[in-house]
Amino acid sequence: MCQPPNLWIHTQAAYETFWEASRRGHVDVVRTMAKGAGIQSCPHIATSKKRLGPDSTSPLLEAVKARSYETVKELLDLGAPVDSCNDRRVTPVMVAAGNGDTEILELLLTKNPDVIGRSDKKPLQRAIDAGHKEAEMILHRYIAEHRSCA
């Protein structure tokens, strides 16, 4: 299931700045804002009642879309849940697979997300549809390794 919304940054302006920094891949701004707010770890950092964008996207999903490895890593280090999703049930793993961004995909998979997905376009199908063979192979390997754990 998707993580429940939770308020992280208390002012709309601060959250908009944090979200925009994530969307643009400005890892230094993300890091500085988190440090300035005294946040070492926040498991709900990627979800908020103040989510922005047409699909209520999270900072983590925006960083994945921007293909900003360092920003994704920073958000994950702060506790952003990998299985967060937008209003259309699209997860960061789905976006990374569809983009063929293998470095980010492998980073997200180390956090053990549910790669089955929450929409009709699962991560593996997105990689196949987009012709990203390396992402497809990574997901096949991940699924095979974790199938016995289910």
Q: Which domains does the chain have, with CATH numbers?
A: 12-147 (1.25.40.20)
Digits of tens for pLDDT over the chain (150 positions)?
A: 333 333 344 566 777 788 889 889 999 998 888 776 655 555 555 454 445 555 577 888 999 999 999 999 999 988 888 887 888 888 899 999 999 999 999 999 988 655 565 544 589 999 999 999 999 999 988 888 776 554
| The amino acid at 114 | D
Structure tokens at 67: 């293909």
Instruction: Output the pLDDT for position 10.
Output: 56
| 119 contacts: CB under 8 Å, gap ≥ 6 | 88, 89, 90, 94
DSSP per residue over the chain, as a string? -PPPP---SSSHHHHHHHHHHHHHT-HHHHHHHHHHTT-S--TTTT--TT-BTTTTB-HHHHHHHTT-HHHHHHHHHTT--TT---TT---HHHHHHHHT-HHHHHHHHTT---TT-SSSS-HHHHHHHHT-HHHHHHHHHHHHHHHTT-
Instruction: Output the pLDDT for position 126.
Output: 93
Residue among 123, 119, 85, 130 nearest 105 (CA): 123
Which pTM does this prediction carry?
A: 0.78
- Alpha-carbon distances of 36 from 18, 31, 33, 40, 124, rounded to whole Å: 12, 8, 5, 10, 38
